[in-house]
Homo-oligomer: A and B are copies of this chain.
Amino acid sequence: MSDEPGLRERKKQRTRQALSDTAVELFLKRGFDQVSVADVAAAVEVSKPTLFRYFPAKEDLVLHRIADHQGEAARVVSGRTAGQSPLGALRAHFHERLEAHDPITGLNDNPTVRAFNDMVYTTPSLLARLVRYSGRDEELLAGALVEASGSDALTAGLAAAQIITVHQRLARENWRKLADGRGVGEALPEAHADADRAYDLLGAGLGAEFDR
């Protein structure tokens, strides 16, 4: 039973891709707020309602790529190797993503990726929408943490919130390094150090610094 996608499904995928690609291209060229959804629809030769049947909001034309990463933290925890702690697995994974120059770490100097990150981090409506995605991410991670360590829901929830928050700060920090004109060669070691600092803090708490 080969389940070929079928013509209809293939066309849909192509339209979806065309919409997202064209949109991002236009947004990067002229700015997110300077391009209307009608412009995007016209460029793809599709009607406005059709565009919204594919993407529920203008922001999603940009963010669905990031949204695809959803649940990554939870998966890392669930899929960690035996004997590894949840926090250890997350730390290791973050270093890996950094080393791979994964765009979501903010550390990638491909011009297009950089422009993309600039756009996301400087456009309020995109940032706002991004937060909603993180909310889901947080829930999933909380679930994985309960599973992994048997802690109560509140503790796991608090931990998940802190971890996701820290990831966001780190990514933003990395983006800022590049935005300030530093090169990846210079920024990467700093980013690793920052990540270690952040995870040390997560693990050992704020007490040593802020409770004496």
Residues of A within 8 A of B (CB): 85-88, 124, 128-129, 131-132, 145, 148-149, 151, 154-155, 157-159, 161-163, 165-166, 168-169, 173, 194, 197-198, 201-207, 209-212
Contact = CB atoms under 8 A, between A and B. Distances in A.
Contact of A205 (B131, B148, B154, B205): B205
B206 A202 contact: yes
Contacts of A210: 85-87, 145, 148-149, 151, 159
A161 B154 contact: no
B158 A166 contact: yes
A211 B203 contact: yes
A169 B159 contact: no
Contact of A173 (B88, B154, B201, B206): B154
A169 B173 contact: no
Contacts of A169: 157-158, 161
Copies in the complex: 2
A-B interface, 10 closest residue pairs, ranked by CB to CB distance from nearest: A205-B205, A203-B207, A128-B128, A87-B211, A204-B205, A85-B211, A165-B165, A86-B210, A87-B210, A161-B165
A30 to B, nearest CB: 24
Contacts of A85: 210-212
Contacts of A129: 128
Given A87-B211, A151-B209, A202-B206, 13 more contacts: A85-B211, A86-B210, A128-B128, A128-B132, A131-B131, A149-B209, A155-B209, A157-B173, A158-B169, A158-B197, A162-B165, A163-B206, A203-B207
Nearest to A159: B206
Contacts of A124: 132
A173 B157 CA distance: 10
A197 B154 CA distance: 9
26 contacts: A86-B210, A88-B211, A149-B209, A149-B210, A154-B173, A154-B194, A155-B201, A155-B209, A158-B166, A158-B198, A158-B201, A159-B201, A159-B206, A159-B209, A159-B210, A161-B165, A161-B166, A161-B169, A162-B162, A162-B165, A162-B206, A163-B206, A202-B206, A204-B204, A205-B205, A205-B206
